[in-house]
């Protein structure tokens, strides 16, 4: 990625930070776009201290005016964009039964999981079209690939990211732009801190829970994003890679009576 300019939304922490670091290690000039100014600058400074190139730009990617300003800033500073990673996303909170959910929560989920993907992609796509080259990587979820009984609305938006990825890839292929996605599962992040959530019993059962035998790390996701963003995947577009350690292949969600306030589990404990 030497010389490439890359924007990573939510690039200050978790999967986004791991991706920003890895891109920079491979020669990219990375723009860390994040709502958390302190964390964004800290991550950019950390990357810069290693001799690589990174810049923090503060923006709430749910807001159209801030996304427009972000794109203008990138154009002014670099004059180009080679890679866009739409990494922002959040399950927000456990909603309970769909019949009892507040439509206000649907709006929150939409804005943070799907709407921003539209906003950011539309803002940066013209820079790629001008150069007839570019790669977009969207971060969806394993829950967009399988049934997710705990939150059908979240799952619907993550599935929409996958279909948007597929459809946009077909539309912009003629412009030299590739569009792909990943579908993470069981990976430590700011939104899903498994190291804090799991009981000692569950911690010991990673080998039974995940076919590869361990919890996923942000760096595991970043490596696949790097593959999709680079010329290593020059003949790959319109696809979503399940980055799940094999959980999608092995099984799914099961009814449970052991988790207080939760009717479902995807963990290898007696239901």
Write down the number of H helices and E strands in the chain: 11, 9
Q: Backbone dihedral region of 229: left (phi > 0), alpha (psi from -120 to 50 degrees) or beta?
A: alpha
| Number of Cβ atoms within 10 Å of the Cβ of 65 | 10
Measured CA distances, 173 to 170, 183, 187, 235, 258 (Å): 6, 22, 31, 11, 48
Distance CA 269, CA 209 (A): 9
Nearest alpha carbon to residue 125 among 157, 182, 159, 164? 164
| Catalytic residue, candidates 78, 110, 154, 194 | 154
The answer to whether 148 is a known catalytic residue is no
Distance CA 133, CA 219 (A): 26
Distance CA 252, CA 155 (A): 14
Catalytic residues: 154
């Amino acid at each position: 990625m030497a010389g490439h300019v890359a924007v990573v939304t939510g690039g200050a922490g978790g999967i986004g930070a791991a991706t920003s670091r890895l891109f920079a290690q491979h020669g990219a000039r990375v723009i860390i776009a994040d709502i958390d100014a302190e964390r964004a600058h800290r991550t950019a400074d950390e990357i810069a201290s290693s001799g690589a190139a990174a810049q923090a730009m503060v923006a709430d990617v749910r807001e159209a005016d801030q996304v427009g300003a972000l794109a203008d800033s990138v154009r002014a500073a670099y004059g180009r964009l080679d890679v866009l990673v739409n990494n922002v996303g959040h399950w927000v909170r456990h909603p309970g039964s769909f019949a009892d959910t507040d439509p206000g929560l649907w709006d929150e989920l939409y804005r943070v999981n799907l709407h921003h993907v539209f906003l950011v992609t539309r803002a940066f796509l013209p820079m790629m079209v001008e150069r007839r080259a570019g790669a977009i990587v969207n971060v969806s979820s394993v829950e967009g690939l399988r049934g997710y009984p705990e939150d059908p609305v979240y799952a619907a938006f993550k599935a929409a990211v996958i279909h948007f990825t597929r459809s946009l890839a077909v539309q912009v292929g003629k412009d030299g732009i590739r569009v792909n996605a990943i579908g993470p599962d069981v990976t430590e992040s700011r939104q899903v801190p498994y190291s804090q959530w799991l009981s000692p019993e569950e911690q010991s059962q990673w080998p039974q829970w995940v076919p590869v035998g361990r919890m996923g790390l942000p760096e595991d996701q970043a490596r696949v994003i790097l593959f999709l963003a680079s010329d290593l995947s020059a003949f790959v577009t319109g696809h979503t890679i399940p980055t799940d350690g094999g959980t999608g292949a092995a099984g799914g969600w099961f009814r449970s009576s052991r988790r207080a306030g939760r009717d479902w589990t995807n963990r290898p404990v007696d239901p």
